[in-house]
Every structure is written in structure tokens, then in C-alpha cells.
Structure 1
């Protein structure tokens, strides 16, 4: 694939704000809040993602995550941000924009998670909206894709609210907790109308 020049590094080290949320890159000082939120939300999150072993939420593992995030950020291939409630800087979740492609594709894959006690508070909507605006306006992507399991009605509602369109079903898309799961595939294009949220 023909690769055009990636966006400048500031596009991959943003602080994004969309009330009631602020998004920024993780730093080592975020470890304790991240670990506690992930652990408190284990039952909620592992319905939709792979179960994790204790070592996967250790400080050493978190440091490796930061190193991998930084590598992706520096090469323009991915953006991983934590989501904080603006009013008191409480960590509520996180977002990723990965598999970023340039050239003819100009696309990326959106992922997100919100801690169990912060669901249905508007935080995911604010976070996804901020990431979409940044991806289209500052990284100059044309297409963002997201996937969720058919049983994850809350995620489907979130994506619809943020202006995504469902394109179809990807069979056996992800292996979660030892089993392959179908996923609904959603997309949003830069040319789609902006949603006022």
C-alpha cells in the first residue's frame, strides 16, 4: 500500500475534551487508579473482552502497555487514551484508535471501555465523540470502524448515538474467553453528518 506522510506527533499526544470527559495518554502515575478500576469492573468487562490473569494488571504489565502505546503513537499507528471525569479527574475508562492506515485507506479501529460504576452516565458518549472529532479533524482519517457483540446492546446504542452505521456481522470475529464470537461491525465516515451531543 502506498503510504503518505503520517500526521505530526502532536496529533498523537492530544488532550481531548468533550463534556463531561477529558482524554489524555496514560502515564505511570495512573497505574493505581487504572488497576483499581479494572479490578472493580472485572465482571462487567470480561463479558466483552478476554479474562485477565493477575499479572496482566500488575505494574510491570502496565509499564509494558505504556511502552507499546508510546511505540504506536510515535509511528502514527495507534492512539491509546484514558478517560477522566472533568469535574474531579476521576478515571472512568479508556479508548483506543488502532490499526491506523494511511494512503488509500485512511482508516482506524475504535475500541473503548468504561468502568462498571460509570456506565450510563454519558462518559462513553463524550469520549467516543471526542475521539471521532480528533481522528477526522487532526489525523485526517476517512473511516472509523467499531465492533461489538450482538448481546452488547449498550455498546450498539452508544455507536448509533455517535453516528455510526451498522454494516453487517463479522462471523467468529474475536476469541473471547476461549470461544469465538460474532460481532456487529459499525462504521462512521468523515463525510457523515456530525452528531451534536
Structure 2
């Protein structure tokens, strides 16, 4: 899937070095918004395992993970995913993403979110995609709003991040065709 500045695609084992570099270079930045990661997370073995698990989750219709790549030089600058895919009467998933701090403010995350939402609605036939962003992560909330998500409320002490339970703004988008 391609837009003006970026494209998203499944990660392969060939992407593991780029994924490791992305994670290492943005460790401090990403860990401000992510559950606690152990030091062994930042290894090539861990990245290869991550990609393998993503492939299995996709095959089992549980999650759909993509790398975010620049169009001009095919550089891996982030990730975007639909996870906790629920079928049956829900037909929903959660969205998550991260972007290299050096590329923030260029609209890349908004483009990636729009692409994966389109994929979720038109390829996966989802009815609803939900997101949660720490209430003080205004940039992430803004990305979601620009991509068409609406605020639904605040989930208090919802996710354990850096040793603390953090409140999250809950946002969602509904498939206009369902």
C-alpha cells in the first residue's frame, strides 16, 4: 500500500537488521510510550522472532503488522499494526504504531494509519478499529484524529508503561460501509 511519502508492507526476515536499528536508535523515545522492554528485546534474535510471530499471527487472522517505509529510499522508519483481531459479532481490531523520532511531524504516521485503516475495512472487512493513546501524548491523538478517529472517553490506569499504570484516551473509527 502506497501513499504520497510512504508505503507499508509486511516485514520479512530481510528487514530484521533495519528493524533492530530502528528500535535501538529510538529506544528512549519508544519506551516513553511502550510497555517495559527487557534488554534482550534489542537483539537480532528478538527481531527475527518478532517477524516470525507476526507472520504466524497474520496466518491465524490475529494481527496484521507492517513496516512503514519511505518512498524515496525504501528506508524502514516505523511500524503500524492491527492486532487483537476479533471476529464474530465484533469484527474489530486495535491499531498501534511507532515512527522514528527523526521523521515525526512529516505526516508519515497519519499516512500509515490511513493505509492500514483502509486495509482493515476493505480487505479484512472489519467494522471497527480502536486506538488508545496516553492522555498526554497529544501528537498521537492528533494523528488518529487526522485519520478520522473520534474520541470515546478515557480508560483510566489502562496500560502499564515504565512501571506506572497510564490513562489512555480511547479513540475509534467505524467502517463507513458496514
TM-score normalised by the chain length of structure 2 = 0.95
Q: 2:143: which partner in 1? A: 158
Q: How does 1:75-86 map to 2 (within 5 A)?
A: 75-86=60-71
Q: 1:61: which partner in 2? A: 46
Which of 159, 162, 168 is the equivalent residue of 1:174? 159
Q: How does 1:6-85 map to 2 (within 5 A)?
A: 16-85=1-70
The Cα shift of 1:50 comes to: 2.6
The Cα shift of 1:54 comes to: 3.0
Give the gaps of 5 or more residues in structure 1. Answer: 1-15, 193-197
* Alignment length (residue pairs): 177
TM superposition outliers: structure 1 runs of 4+ over 6 Å: none
Give distance in 2, aligned partners of 1:50 and 1:100: 20
Q: 1:140: which partner in 2? A: 125
The Cα shift of 1:30 comes to: 1.2
Deviations 1:84-124 (A, max 9, x none): 00111011100110011111100000000001101111110
Give distance in 1, aligned partners of 2:102 and 2:146: 21
Give the gaps of 5 or more residues in structure 2. Answer: none
Give distance in 2, aligned partners of 1:52 and 1:110: 19
RMSD: 1.2
Give distance in 2, aligned partners of 1:66 and 1:56: 13
